[in-house]
Amino acid sequence: MWQLAWPWMLLLIPLPWIVRRYAAPEYMDKDAALRVPVAAEFENLLGGSRGRSANRSRLLLLWLIWLLVLLAAARPQFVGEAQALPVTGRDLLMAVDLSGSMEEQDFQLNGRWVDRLTATKSIARDFIERRVGDRIGLILFGRETYLQTPLTFDRATVQVLLDEAVIGLAGQETAIGDAIGLAIRTLSDADVQENRRVLILLTDGANTAGAIDPLKAAELARDRGMVIYTIGIGADSVMVRSLFGVREVNPSADLDEQTLTTIAEGTGGRYFRARDIEEFQRIYSILDELEPAAGEESGFRPVSERYHWPLSAAFMLSLLWALAALRQTFADTDDAVAENG
């Protein structure tokens, strides 16, 4: 069906008549900057039947243009058939570590070595896309924590904002406790039921900053009915070249797996270890199997804006009116010059 988003704009239809009716007729003459010496001749020419007919046609055209402009301003919309939007009832937050250690290039993606954040973005993109019916939010943390995306059904926006995240944006250190605290506040403000609050926390280190102890934050999250799934990112060993030849090092030596395991298990969640892309993908496959709380389907009707139709018609008629007026002006000028010899 059709509807007008701003139907009150149509109340302006009589505005030109009101202006013409109550504005002083000599107002334009007093302030006119251009005087036409043969105006009387023009008036005589337009006084005939042909002139009156032309004036009437142009006036009707102006009224039609005005009506089309107001119709466009009223925003005509086409409302489609009602569609059901599946809602699982789960509110899911992703907290992504942006500390300096995420620059470590120990993940191989499509045959090339990439840093940990790039690998996280690549795998998380597919995971977010599959979250149809979930409200998703995004927290970015380093030394500071930021709610980058509030809970939303708009998965595309969450993906874009995650792709735009850069290492060091929130500082070089890691505030895991503050990230959990921000997730608690975000999910507590949401209108959700128990066992429907989920946090997926991805980090490659230990808690080195922040005002909240991670274990204390996890206890508070458990009391609020939040389930936390933690993911430790980083390879166990890589080969590096040095002055003494090639040697094996552990780039994840600073990863505090014990704390991450305690956080997850204390809230009814689970700790995962992502050492390479394949493990990352398996982790997200397991997370895909999380049982959502039962929820009702919410209906919506797709709305398509159609204001450009009357606006385009008004523009085309305006061009025709301008061309006709210009043509008539040239014709009247030629007649006046010929009459004056």
Going by DSSP bridges, is the β-strand pair 245-249/303-305 parallel, antiparallel, or unpaired? unpaired
The boundaries of the domain holding residue 320 are 2-80+303-339
User: How much of the chain exceeds pLDDT 90, in percent?
Assistant: 30
Same domain? For 257 and 127 the reply is yes
C-alpha atoms less than 13 angstroms from C-alpha of 292 in its C-beta half-sphere: 17
User: How much of the chain exceeds pLDDT 70, in percent?
Assistant: 76
Distance of alpha carbon 112 from the chain centroid: 32
Query: What pLDDT band is residue 21 in, cutting at 50, 70 and 90?
Result: confident
CA distance 270 to 265: 6
CA distance 281 to 247: 29
Same domain? For 314 and 281 the reply is no
Same domain? For 220 and 275 the reply is yes
Q: Does the structure show a pLDDT above 70 at 174?
A: yes
CATH code: domain of residue 132: 3.40.50.410
Same domain? For 119 and 195 the reply is yes
Predicted local confidence at residue 170, as pLDDT:
87
Predicted local confidence at residue 16, as pLDDT:
86
Q: Over range 251-275, report the average pLDDT.
A: 88
Number of domains in the chain: 2
Query: What pLDDT band is residue 247 in, cutting at 50, 70 and 90?
Result: low
Query: What pLDDT band is residue 86 in, cutting at 50, 70 and 90?
Result: low
Same domain? For 317 and 275 the reply is no
What single string gives the DSSP state of each residue in 271-339? EEEE-SHHHHHHHHHHHHTPPPPP---EEE--EEE-THHHHHHHHHHHHHHHHHHHHHHHHHHHHHHHH
Same domain? For 156 and 260 the reply is yes
Predicted local confidence at residue 219, as pLDDT:
94
Q: Does the structure show a pLDDT above 80 at 83?
A: no
Same domain? For 50 and 178 the reply is no
Entry pTM: 0.60
CA distance 103 to 44: 83
Same domain? For 65 and 92 the reply is no
Same domain? For 277 and 133 the reply is yes
Same domain? For 148 and 56 the reply is no
Same domain? For 242 and 178 the reply is yes
CA distance 102 to 167: 7
Cβ atoms within 10 Å, residue 325: 14
255 class by beta-carbon count within 10 Å (0-12 exposed, 13-18 middle, 19+ buried): buried
Q: Is 47:54 a contact under the CB 8 Å cutoff?
A: no
DSSP one-letter code for 146: E
By three-state DSSP, how is residue 109 classified? strand
pLDDT, averaged across the chain: 80
pLDDT in tens, 198-219: 899 999 888 988 889 999 999 9
Same domain? For 133 and 172 the reply is yes
